[in-house]
Structure 1
Amino acid sequence: MRKFTLNIFTLSLGLAVMPMVEAAPTAQQQLLEQVRLGEATHREDLVQQSLYRLELIDPNNPDVVAARFRSLLRQGDIDGAQKQLDRLSQLAPSSNAYKSSRTTMLLSTPDGRQALQQARLQATTGHAEEAVASYNKLFNGAPPEGDIAVEYWSTVAKIPARRGEAINQLKRINADAPGNTGLQNNLALLLFSSDRRDEGFAVLEQMAKSNAGREGASKIWYGQIKDMPVSDASVSALKKYLSIFSDGDSVAAAQSQLAEQQKQLADPAFRARAQGLAAVDSGMAGKAIPELQQAVRANPKDSEALGALGQAYSQKGDRANAVANLEKALALDPHSSNNDKWNSLLKVNRYWLAIQQGDAALKANNPDRAERLFQQARNVDNTDSYAVLGLGDVAMARKDYPAAERYYQQTLRMDSGNTNAVRGLANIYRQQSPEKAEAFIASLSASQRRSIDDIERSLQNDRLAQQAEALENQGKWAQAAALQRQRLALDPGSVWITYRLSQDLWQAGQRSQADTLMRNLAQ
């Protein structure tokens, strides 16, 4: 008893001499963290020790009362738990601690357990949205703490639109209650599947600090790095893994893999190949191409290197070399696991190579060859608009305007954002009549209209020029000058329009303005 009294006295004295504003909350927070750690790791002894001290320091703290409530409920003392819940309702009826505890108490009833089981069944059978709705109805906006909260947010994470929110909530729970290895396992996997690898590894490193989580963390970590292409990056990843984990089957496999990779990378040809493959995966075509060329020279039958080289050329926009290397790779290994990717890339590059060659043939005034190439592209991919656009350009080159109009209209039906087709139609209608061109332009969307604003300005300029000329013929020089000013606003710096404006001003008697314009023009 004397020892017990002395401990309380010592504790009270310590609290009295410590700065009250900072020290007491810090002590409370540390003890509450110990409670949450004990709950997460099922260390009831740690929970009880921490609660004992908390109840001496601040017995009316809602979080402390809620922790005692949960402890009694775990022990099966329903009456005691209910008393703590009633007390909490008096102390802090609007607090999260009370709302969460109320939900936890509900889950201990037959109706609550049945409702929870229904939500879990929906979650495990792939009905995540229905499950979350059931959880929300059960929780009434206040999910309980602990494993149920982890269960709830893990279910929310199955809804794609809410995955980010769920991950952030699970990260918060992990920060508040570190040591829950089940939570850390789920959180790490969610982060990896969301391409947040650095965060995923950070959670695994935290998980590895506990005996209960170390083996699981090791397996997940090694699973994330073991299939990396051999490169300096894969060696670094294995070394990092082995600096954290020192035993187990995954460690033995990683040690063997590291030794093998270091041996492989000592070979210059293998290193070039490995670095080239890694560079392609990172989208670094400029770095990948020379290294993969070296690998192919060392082994011309290396289908993987040839396919990667084709992919690198594709990234660089070199369609001809992309096609050549992808065709070689597919011919060498028609059953490669990369075949779907290579065939897809081959189709894309064949299409755009034909488009490029068709454009070049048109520039060389060879519409027949251009037509064959655009038709070839269309046969490769009849869903893209640029092959049809090319056929329209061929018809324009042949002055077959009805055919060009049909092709351009078809292009726009396939892709309303193809501004080249909009321009082609505007030019066709302009040749027919300015009025038809202006009516067409007026029918366009704002973005389509912006793409041919030069044609629209030119049409306005032509119309104003005709009106100004008619006024000049009538001797209405001042009115003609006003229209010439509008033309100059559409085409600033035009020497011819400036000259016409100065002539109209001179004839209208505004000779000083006319002289100023001509002097500025001469400069």
Structure 2
Amino acid sequence: MMWRICYQYRQYLLALGLLAGILPVTQAADDPTETFLYEQVRLGNSKSNDVLVSQSLYRLSLIKPNDPSVLLMRIQFAVKQKETAKAQQLVEQLRMHGENTEQYQRAIKLLSLTHEDNRQILQKAYLYQTAGRYDEALQLYDDIYQGTPPDEGLALEYLNVLIAANHANKMARIKQIYHTYPNNQQIANIYQQYHLTPALSTPSATSAPNNTISIRALKQQLRQQPDNADIIGTLGVRYSRANQRALAIYYLSQALTLAPKHNDSDLWRTLLQSNQYWHLLAKADEALLNQEYSAAKRYFTQVRQLSPYKSEAYIGLGDIELAQHQLEQAERYYQQALQYQPNDAATLHSLTRLYRQQSHQKAAQFMANLTSQQYKNLAQDYGYIISGIQQDLAADDEQQQHYLSAIEKRKAIAKAYPDEVWNIYRLADDLLITQQPQLAEDYFNQLNQRRPNDPSRRYAYALYLNKTGRAQQALNTLKTIPLSQRSESMNALDSQLRFGQIMAHAQSLREHNQQQQAVEYLFTHIPPEQKIESYLLLAQWAEEDDQLNQALNYYHTVLNLAPNNETALLGATEISLAQHQIDQARYYLAQIEQLSPEKFNHYSLRRLANAEKTAGNIDKAKHYFIYLARQVDKEPDSADGLILRDIGRFYRDSQQVQSAHHYYQQAMLKEGITHTLPTNNIEYTTLMRNNPNDNWLSRSIRDDASTLYRQQEWRFTLEHDYWGSNGSEGYSKLRAHTTMLQLDHPIYHGRFFWRTDFVHLNSGTLGTAPYDAKFGSCYRTGCFPLKQKAFGVSPAIGWENEQWQWDLGTTPLGFNVTDWVGKIAYNDSFYHLGWSVDLHRRPVNSSLLAFAGQRDSWTNQVWGGVRKTGLRLSGSYDLGGKDGYWGEISFDRLTGKNVKNNSSVKAMGGYYYKLINENDRRISVGLNSMLWHYNKDLSGYTLGQGGYYSPQQYLSFSLPVNYRQRTENWSWEVSGSLSWSYSKTDDSRRYPLQNLVSSDKFNSDPIKEIFKHERNIIDKGDSGHGFGYTARALIEHRITPHWFIGAAIDIQQAKNYTPSHALMYLRYSFDGWNGDLDLPPNPLIPYADFK
């Protein structure tokens, strides 16, 4: 009966079949792009052609990026490609359409299959299926799917198991899956096999073929009737429906050739043109995706020839130009597409994307000029790009630190797109920067209420909580995100927060002086994924505790785990350099060279450049510093004050002074020392003043800039110095006036000086009892009351830097005895001990005789002019804390004209303690001692004596007190000491050089007789002890940044020695100096007093 009904109504059934075959193509004609791409996705899935699926999904995402069906297909493909993070992001985008939608539920189910537990269940079900245990396999599938499988591939696999299994409600299940995936041909065939009665009639040779007949059956009929246009045309339609474009084109073309006026010829022509169009478009897309630009351009050009008024070809041609960075040509193609389809969302999106790539402002201007319909279409399908451009503009403001403007933009975005999680996050960040924490909290609270279960929202909120110092709350928020929905970034934040808690506890132990407990705690709680970070922290702690070998061991542990870890390599290099293991440091530097250091971050590159410099690889250090400077100039915001300071140091050492000052000023700006760059020297040097609120880096920047500026400063100083001591009129008494002119200026890496001293010495006039004066040959012979004075000019030059010092000059020209004098010295440090050594030749200037030399009245001989030549070694130890030590030892040989040679050894040392140690105020007390030994006592003034203090034993102890302070324009020092001393001199000849008082030197016989006795006289030695004191005051005032004035006075009182001293000076700075005044003030020292 059924057979007869089917046969009777076969024509109606045939028409219905043809309509079913034609229907998708008809729909494609209504919306051809989308339908074609949907078909391409299904075809790619059925053929396992991932390239075709990827291309089609890409084009679909451009046309309808927020369409739930498109999003679901993209999620399915991402899961297939094991791109879980991308799938999670797309699921969050799909959630915006509602959590109860079919697409969202299927996406969640599909994503759940990526969990390890579910993957194991699926594997087990597959094994059951392979073993023929279909009922058990079906049970596992039902347990995991909880209904319909989430995609077509899984549904087909499920149907195969369902058909083979014993299931009471098999037909209902098949029907349910068919209605879920009605467009899948394989699923439809299974459904038809089990639900529909297949047609039993066989068409006659001349009748149109039944559309329900399979393609295989149609091909069999075609072999019997090769010229039957109906069969060929039906094959073309069927292949078109199956998205097999090439075969469809072949058969439709053949059908039209055989029967150009067939009843279905119009249909065949329409289908042929449509298949040719989409076939070429698919090939063009595939070529573009494979970066075969010439082929893609050829195909798109053919597509344009087929349909010159559609946008797809022009968009494709524009995409080719865009991929090759031909932006102007790409824009022309996009504009052509817009001309033919002005409201097409895909075209508008292409242009917006292009302008966004060129300039955020240009993209915004383009959107502002769109018509209302264009904007509506773009917003409907590509709302994300509108929001993105608005966020770009806000980000531009943030980069320029225009936070208030950025806040207004982000508020507008939040109003239009209230669920845009990352806009809210950045808005909250801007509000925190502008001190509006409550408003930031309000925005996040509103977002939390609207999207309580959104993993992206939870993640952003956790970041916000962590940024606001609520790490535990951030961790608790992350815990609410199911493991199945976590991205790699979420897991990384979770790990970071947990590790942060471990670190905080360990750091707390260190702060409570429980260093060992901190190390042990960290060792027992090191997470496996944080081993490297933990050992790097342990290395840092060891370095802070000065345990360099232990730190090096930790770095080696890191290098065993990660041989190319740049932090460990740099740390090991720096420790090796600190331990003076230069070869070992160069080994590590060679390892670093293999890591392409130019890719390091700025901080690591700075460390590398400094290490190369310390290791003596100056050229490499120069290369890295220049590269770093260029990167910083390109991206000024990428560098911090430390990097800028070190670049400044590099240019300082390279004698590029202006560049050095430029980077020091930039460092000052970055560190908040100033908010604007200085415009002149006065403003700049004002910034160099110390600030008690500075951190170590700000102090370092100011000190570096100040030291360089002072080293480069030109100064001229005029000073007058007075020195006097009591004694016997005419020889041991002395009044000295020295007027000094000195010009200081930079040269090479140091400072050079030119100076002239005008020296006036006056010992008075020999007394009225000349027979008592032990001077020259006057004792018992008498001398004329001559005035004893001298005048001379002492020129000198000198140079110094951080390590070397030298000077060369003469004792005053015009004195009775004139000599070359000078010094060369070298300074360095060993660990924390500073030391220096020098070779010197200096005048002894304690008397007119010792300094200038004098002439004897009776013999007319000049004697005196004593010079000391020797070696001095000094050292000091001061870590900048409360106290310090100093010491010095010198060995000298003392010679003079007609003066007995002598030698001396002097040792001095002391300790000081800083009661107050502030930047601008210091008070210290201490204990000093001196131990001297001279081989001979030549302190007399007779012929052959030297006129200088030269005990054979001298010991003194003193208790110094020192107070220094400075204000903006004043600097002063007040100091004093109490001392006790002991001295002893041996017996000595009154005339140590006998030839000076031989008989032939005198013209008078009586005097000759006297000296026959006098020449052998021995003066008795002496010893004694006593107390003394010193008091000194020194002050300087800045009149203007160019002019400075100062004065000083000091008084000493000791046994048989009461000198006094005063000075005044005027100094001019050519460049100007408005920084800190010297503390204490630093007047000139007479050249004769140089050490």
> Which protein has the bigger helix share?
1
> Which protein has the bigger strand share?
2
Q: TM-score, normalised by structure 1?
A: 0.41
Larger radius of gyration: 2
